[in-house]
Amino acid sequence: MAVLLALVVTALWASSWVIIKFGLEEIPPITFAGLRYGLAAAILLGLILANKESRSAAMRQHRRWWVTVAGYGIIFVTVTQGTQFMALSLLPAIAVSLILNLTPFVVLFLSVGLLRERPSLNQIGFILLGVVGIIAYFYPKDLGEMALFGLLVTVVGLLANSLSAVIGRAINRNRTAPALVITGTSMAFGAAILLIWGLLTEGVPNLPLISWIYIIWLSVVNTALAFTLWNKAMQHIRAIDMSLIQSTMMPQIIILSVVFLGEIPTILDWIALSLIAVSVLFVQVSQARKISSNQTEGSQ
């Protein structure tokens, strides 16, 4: 049941890319991101307030914890999600997904300096394989100015996502608060800034009913519910298995983009995407196995 829940979450998260592309036809990107995560944060904060244990855990945190969580929310929600929505308004979903799926590579390098976790030779080898795939995917393409700007925005999102992964790991490793409290409070900080940013730069949009359906579905189902199910699954599934399940997102996004968005990769694109998918998968599995081994040694 836990594995099924986790797979359902990956399907929901993969479908978000298609829904976002549809929604961007009417909704400005930053405002779209702010509304999605603002509503989701409101739902999660409501769950925290309704649960005595979560409420008590939030109230007993010290000032330094709140500053760290606020910074985490700004990086993970404001910067990462804001740039993702901007990138999807400029680039095909497959290209954005490809770049953001390189997060495990960047996390490994950031972990060297921030968490003192050194990558193994196998991990370095798979990273080089992924680099070959990136070159094969982008090198033959004639990119215009908007596409280049979209790539730059996506790379910023990649770096922010990677940094937030390291910070999030450090926060959760301390286990000073439940995952729901960390997720809800950090998302609230990040979403508030996104909303202000969107309103100041894009104005107040006049949205049709279908746009609000996109926003509500993404907020309630693909964010609040999905995060809750994912955290529930993590209580019963090993880290290495969660990485395997999470790695299914990239092929799901590609398939959904082909079917619903008409983004048809060439043969060379398929080869490049396969190389990147394999390299990311094995880097994730290797890293998860390493974390599981360290946790086992620490409990002995």
The predicted-structure confidence for 39-70, as pLDDT tens digits, reads as follows 999 999 999 999 999 999 999 999 999 999 99
Confidence band for 292, pLDDT divided at 50, 70 and 90: low
Positive or negative, the CA dihedral 229, 198, 110, 173 is negative
**HEC sequence for the chain:** CHHHHHHHHHHHHHHHHHHHHHHCCCCCHHHHHHHHHHHHHHHHHHHHHHCHHHHHHHHCCCHHHHHHHHHHHHHHHHHHHHHHHHHHCCCCHHHHHHHHCCHHHHHHHHHHHHCCCCCCHHHHHHHHHHHHHHHHHHCCCCCCHHHHHHHHHHHHHHHHHHHHHHHHHHHHHHCCCCHHHHHHHHHHHHHHHHHHHHHHHHCCCCCCHHHHHHHHHHHHHHHHHHHHHHHHHHCCCCHHHHHHHHCCHHHHHHHHHHHHHCCCCCHHHHHHHHHHHHHHHHHHHHHHHHHHHHHHHHHC
175 by Cβ neighbours in 10 Å (0-12 / 13-18 / 19+) ranks as exposed
Confidence band for 143, pLDDT divided at 50, 70 and 90: low
Count of CB atoms situated within 10 Å of the CB of 182: 23
Q: Read off the tokens for 153.
A: 């925005």
Position 131 scores a pLDDT of: 87
Residue 20 has pLDDT above 90, yes or no: yes
- Is pLDDT larger for residue 239 or for residue 121? 121
Burial 87-122 (b: 16+ CB within 10 A, else e): bbbbbbbbbbbbbbbbbbbbbbebbeeeeebebeee
Residue 77 has pLDDT above 90, yes or no: yes
Q: Tell me how far apart the alpha carbons of residues 151 and 133 are, in angstroms, rounded to a whole number.
A: 16
Q: What percent of the chain has pLDDT over 90?
A: 53
Which of these, 129, 121, 135, lies nearest to 279 by C-alpha position?
129
Q: Read off the tokens for 15.
A: 């479908």
Residue 79 has pLDDT above 90, yes or no: yes
The phi, psi pair for 135, rounded to 5°, reads: -60, -45
Residue 216 has pLDDT above 70, yes or no: yes
Which of these, 56, 47, 70, 82, lies nearest to 228 by C-alpha position?
47
Which of 23-27, 116-120, 227-231, 233-237 holds the top average pLDDT?
Answer: 23-27
- Is pLDDT larger for residue 158 or for residue 101? 158
Which of these, 165, 152, 33, lies nearest to 96 by C-alpha position?
152
| pLDDT digit string, tens, across residues 185-215 | 999 999 999 999 999 999 998 999 999 999 9
Mean pLDDT over residues 257-264, rounded? Answer: 95
Q: Read off the tokens for 201.
A: 């730069």
Residue 224 has pLDDT above 80, yes or no: yes
Positive or negative, the CA dihedral 109, 113, 114, 116 is positive
Tokens 């490809």 belong to: 98
Q: Tell me how far apart the alpha carbons of residues 219 and 38 are, in angstroms, rounded to a whole number.
A: 8
- Is pLDDT larger for residue 231 or for residue 57? 57
